[in-house]
Chains A and B, each alone.
Chain A
């Protein structure tokens, strides 16, 4: 009896490998088609990982990467013992979490509202106007923001003064504690419309019969939103959310770099900027690489963590 089952198992195993190869032969064209992309990924995402060796050396660009002084974890120790590193890590995480929350609530609400519009022409126009700022570069946006918030005839201060909410213009850009908020709001202005597109697309994929059925059952607009539209985009939402958690730590530095000034620098410097100033700019390529490795490791951990939590809660997995 026992031997019989094991026999059956091995038969099943053989047939499953066989089946795998058979389908592989059958679908060989599909495999060929994916080949260029696999090569692409290897060349552009895995080959550069060689460069990580730099983090364990005193790299000097003149010599070959294998012909360098090896220093072990020296750069990591230096990195983790630098006070400034913790400061920039705090700023990075604070700004990216604020950005994450805003970029996943405002666009969803906006998409919900747009989705309720009947008039297609009006809806399309609003949508287009809303996502245009996405194409404006940060250089221009930072110029607009600093000008708007200026004490010297800036629109925001003028408005607040005219409404008698304040008597003296406020120096928005000089208050460190406000910097995170300003970046988040500027980001929301620029990206809300763009982030809405994907949610709107997901919403248009929901079966209209569901809405009809709920109308018959007497559901109002808000009921429909809550019970049909929102669950309908849940998967899309979660996939995007988990992927962006992976990017939490690598938020780039454009906006912080362009909007900051000496007074708010303690709140504005982010990890990438730190890597630039203390790594590459000082020709400390190894130190910069160590920061890069730290970034990647934290990102991977964050993605898996998010996925794990999601799996626990919903019994589904996106990775």
Chain B
């Protein structure tokens, strides 16, 4: 009898546990349902949490705990919970999201929009925009047709986050070299890869180690992870006078396309990197190091030159600034293979409707979300996310907005903390104006305008620029009207259809590139051509010609759509 009782009670416990596990789920489902039922209410300030999956990891995300975060929470009742890719890339994150068929309220899918659209995960924003979002419509203005998904599907799935009407006042790319190198060599001209090489070489010969005896590194590339595209292969575009069109080179007249590695000019660029390796200036670990290692090298101040974009190395450079080692931070130059090329980084694109934010089918209350985004796109909202809160982060003097000196000091010298504490830069989640656009009071919407940029330069930057007789780094680049505008925007914003074979060819070409480019660069100079020829042959073998043709079609379609 006792045994039976024991058995029964055990059974009871088991079933309870099992049921409890199931029950929890149904409870959850119930609560989400009740959430959707109050969608009819107007402009409520009832607390609401929005999940946002962002394809770009932001270590400085503040969880709404920053000044701006708290302000937005109070003003709109909305709390944003952000999720970022863990370990893998954004492509993994969104592919797995589609596979699980469960979506957060909002997504910033970067280049994965097609995947989500194919899965029916995004809602068409057009009716919502027309009805509830006057501010967003105003910001996009005449460019609204650039938001359209494709020629076949005229829905609007994402709101691009690129600033409308953007004027570039400063340059964040190019080739970087430490201020101390330039100073010691008496500010030599840095125009071609040879100039760049000589500067590094001369300095390194004189100063092989740092003050505390650590060996200096000539040139380090961030080639161990996905940034191989940013730090190794994209510069091949810039150094040979072509704009960055993803992995493709587009003929501007005929819209014929080839993979950019197939250009003979770029072979010469990689030959130069090979030469840099041969003479020992290239960091041997360039293709082995992890991003963390790369950043810690830069932060140690030992790396004389890098070829990267500012957003990729800013965190490490900020660490140097926080320590006051300004002479070890970088100046950037548009370096080309030889004098005959002009850096085309700033070749015009028109309004570049690139990566944006979309609302998913699982969103509880799309109307409230679009109203929230509309608030961020309003003049008040845009000033808030760009400038912060009046009296706390900026003041208005004689009708002009000025950043409070202490805040500016933190922004310049300790940007990582600045972003996390103030939240400025963390809430670009809606349509916005770019640099150089004025608001109704005649002030710039963003904090990037010539005076402010100069005000944010460190003493080292100012000294270097003064020595070259420039005010901003952008002045080294060719003037904006040196190139014709690209009618298709930029290649990297155009993606293949998910079901297309070209996608597979593209993935294969990427694997091949990641294998052969490092191999070619690290090869004995005598073998360089052999390796590069092999690389070309491998690309032919997987039929890149077919992919190129398909891409060319996409470009032509885009041109047609945008020129309407």
Contact = CB atoms under 8 A, between A and B. Distances in A.
Interface of A: 29-30, 32-33, 36, 39-40, 58, 60-62, 84, 139, 142-143, 146-147, 150-152, 171, 173-174, 257-258, 261-263, 265-266, 276-278, 280-285
B92 A151 contact: no
B10 A263 contact: no
B515 A265 contact: yes
Interface stretch (B115-123, B248-256, B437-445, B460-468): B115-123
Contacts of A29: 4, 7-8, 11
B98 A61 contact: yes
A62 B120 contact: yes
A197 B285 CA distance: 39
Interface stretch (B287-295, B328-336, B389-397, B421-429): B287-295
20 contacts: A29-B7, A33-B7, A60-B119, A60-B499, A62-B118, A139-B87, A146-B289, A150-B293, A151-B284, A171-B288, A173-B288, A174-B287, A174-B522, A257-B88, A261-B289, A262-B223, A263-B518, A265-B514, A281-B92, A283-B115
Interface stretch (B50-58, B145-153, B266-274, B503-511): B503-511
A282 B120 contact: no
Given A29-B8, A171-B285, A278-B504, A262 B119 contact: no
Interface residues of B, number: 50
B560 interface: no
Contact of B18 (A36, A62, A152, A258): A36
B49 interface: no
B287 A33 contact: no
B14 interface: yes
B288 A282 contact: no
B524 interface: no
Considering the complex of A and B, which 7 residue pairs feature the smallest CB-CB distances, nearest first? A29-B7, A61-B119, A262-B514, A283-B498, A62-B120, A173-B288, A280-B95
A152 B517 CA distance: 22
Contacts of B17: 36
B92 A276 contact: yes
Nearest to A154: B285
Contacts of B276: none
Which of A147, A150, A258, A282 has the most chain B CB atoms inside 10 A of its CB?
A: A282
Nearest to A262: B514
B98 A174 contact: no
Contacts, number: 113
Interface in B90-135: 91-92, 95-96, 98-99, 101, 115, 118-120
B99 A61 contact: yes
A276 B224 CA distance: 19
Nearest to A149: B288
B453 to A, nearest CB: 34
Contacts of A151: 284-285
B192 interface: no
Given A32-B11, A265-B511, A282-B503, 8 more contacts: A39-B18, A62-B118, A62-B120, A174-B287, A257-B87, A262-B228, A280-B96, A283-B119
Contacts of A258: 87
Nearest to A78: B504
A146 B290 contact: yes
A281 B7 contact: no
A262 B287 contact: yes
B504 to A, nearest CB: 6
A173 B518 CA distance: 13
B556 interface: no
Contacts of B452: none
B483 to A, nearest CB: 32
A139 B87 CA distance: 8
A168 to B, nearest CB: 10
Contacts of A173: 288
Interface string B223-237: 111001000000000
Contacts of B504: 278, 282, 284
A262 B11 contact: no
B514 A283 contact: no
A282 B498 contact: yes
